[in-house]
Structure 1
Amino acid sequence: MRLSESAIDLPVFRLSRVLGFRLTKFDPVESLQKQKWRLQSHWLYLCVMPNLLQNLQIAKATIVEKPAVARMLQLYLHDFSEFAKVGEPYGEIGNDGTFQYEHFDSYWNEAEREALLLRVNGHIAGFVLVNQWSASSLGTDNSMAEFFVLRKYRRSGIGKLVASKIIRQRSGKWEIPVADYNQPALAFWRSVVSSLEHYSHEEIPGDGRR
């Protein structure tokens, strides 16, 4: 998904890679059905997760916390390997028994890359990697490189809340690369972008390779 500035000076958001979403001009007119769904969803969300909402922390991961992010990255890559096909180079581990991830160290060395650590009630709940790489080649200010929430906290609303807060905290254009074969991720991000008020999006296909 991709975000950029709209004609009325509102952030717009674009998502792309194997499949993506591009956010375009904001339309202030919503259907009554969509408004009703949002009210119901918001009410259920607040009733089910009051404590989680109050105790959610999203902070830049320090160098001391880097090993924790590295260990969770292994869980993330293992989850993602489920979608890799036998015979393809993706989803393989090295001789040391770990998945390799290029540019990991750069998230603590380069200004345009940032590693975020998620905590719920003081407990680590996941991580997010943000950079400026444009999967669509259209250019972007922000890109959601990796997004991981521990299984315990999935389907609780935490992931959607985290994604929304991170997007809103950063101005300019956004891209969220999503592999089209990862249907759970597609469903999640479609839900996120459709719920963002003052944002519009366009889903754009990628080349299937990046």
Structure 2
Amino acid sequence: MSVILKEVLEIEKTILRNLYSLYLHDLSKFTSMIDIGVDGSFEYESLDKFWDIDGLSPYFIILDGSIIGFILLLERPFLTKENDLGINDFFILNKYKGKGLAAKAAVKLFEEKQGHYFVMQVIENKRAVSFWKKLYQELNIEINERQELIDDEQCLIQTFKI
């Protein structure tokens, strides 16, 4: 099974918007900051800015020609501090979870984009925390980790160099 990353084009915005709604639905279990909209969807208000602001880089995760998720990568010039890259959002459809595909997507990203990274998870999202810790161990990535309160949510932040 071959996993590739493909930069999301602005004409593919609707597909990404639909995937973001699913992602935010999943995250709503772990945070009080995410609620369903009056239209019955979970909306990411800043999605339209992805194509207007340099350094906001959405990628589809594609398996054998089908979109199975996405990554929102933060890059320079959007990032201005010590990190070159940040994985802001990372989503795999439930059907594909637990098959090693998210790890393959992360490895593909690390191969294509090298530098100082940060990754953040809401501590209550134990599956995400476990995924990242396992990935760091499997890839022998040395991390610095700290806890921080962000938007009233306790988060883990890992920084590392690829």
TM-score, L = length of structure 2: 0.83
- Cα distance in 2, alignment partners of residues 182 and 165 from structure 1: 23
Alignment map for 1:114-133 (pairs within 5 Å): 114-132=57-75
Within the candidate set 8, 11, 15, 1:68 is matched to 15
Which residue does the alignment assign to 1:206?
Answer: 148
Give the number of aligned pairs. 150
- Cα distance in 1, alignment partners of residues 50 and 90 from structure 2: 14
Distance change in 2, residues 1:119/1:164 (3 Å): same
1:65 counterpart SS class: helix
Residue identity matched to 1:145: N
Give the drift of 1:57: 1.9
Deviations 1:62-119 (A, max 9, x none): 12221111101101111111123xxx4x221222222232321122222211010111
Q: Is the 8 A contact 2:30 2:122 kept in 1?
A: no
Q: Is the 8 A contact 1:141 1:173 kept in 2?
A: yes
1:128 counterpart SS class: strand
Within the candidate set 89, 112, 124, 1:169 is matched to 112
Alignment map for 1:44-83 (pairs within 5 Å): 52=1, 55-83=2-30
Which residue does the alignment assign to 1:143?
Answer: 86
Q: Is the 8 A contact 2:21 2:44 kept in 1?
A: no
Q: Would you tell me which structure has more strand in proportion to its own residues?
A: 2
Q: Which has the larger radius of gyration?
A: 1
Question: Pairwise CA RMSD of aligned residues?
Answer: 2.0
Deviations 1:144-189 (A, max 9, x none): 0100011111110100111122123212210001111111100001
- Cα distance in 2, alignment partners of residues 59 and 140 from structure 1: 23
Structure number with the bigger relative contact order (C-alpha 8 A, sep ≥ 6) is: 1
Identical-residue share of aligned pairs (%): 26
Which stretches in structure 1 are left out of the alignment for 5+ residues?
Answer: 1-51
Give the drift of 1:138: 6.1
1:73 counterpart SS class: helix
Residue identity matched to 1:182: N
Q: Which runs of 4+ in 1 moved over 2 A?
A: 207-210
Which residue does the alignment assign to 2:156?
Answer: none
Within the candidate set 116, 120, 135, 1:192 is matched to 135
1:91 counterpart SS class: coil
Residue identity matched to 1:184: R
- Cα distance in 2, alignment partners of residues 102 and 130 from structure 1: 17
Q: Is the 8 A contact 1:108 1:115 kept in 2?
A: no
